[in-house]
Amino acid sequence: MPTQQKPPIRQIGLFVVVAAMAVAAYFAIWQVPEAPQVRFKTLAGENISTGDLRGKVVLVNFWATSCVTCMAEMPRIIETFHKYKGQGFETVAVAMDYDPPNYVLSYAQQKQLPFKVALDVDGSVAKSFGNVRLTPTTFIIDKRGRVIKQYLGEPDFAQLHALLEAKLKEAV
Determine the pLDDT at residue 3. 60
Determine the Cα–Cα distance for residues 166 and 164; give it in Å rounded to an integer: 5
Beta-strand pair 116-119/137-141: unpaired
pLDDT for 132-168, tens place per residue?
A: 999 999 999 999 999 999 999 999 999 999 999 999 9
- Domains of the chain with bracketed CATH: 39-169 (3.40.30.10)
- Partners of residue 57 on adjacent β-strands: 89
Amino acid identity of residue 49, one-letter, is S
Res. 113: pLDDT tops 90: yes
Confidence (pTM): 0.82
Res. 21: pLDDT tops 80: no
Determine the Cα–Cα distance for residues 30 and 25; give it in Å rounded to an integer: 8
29 or 132, higher pLDDT: 132
Count CB atoms within 10 A of the CB of residue 124: 13
Alpha carbons within 13 A on the beta-carbon side of 156: 5
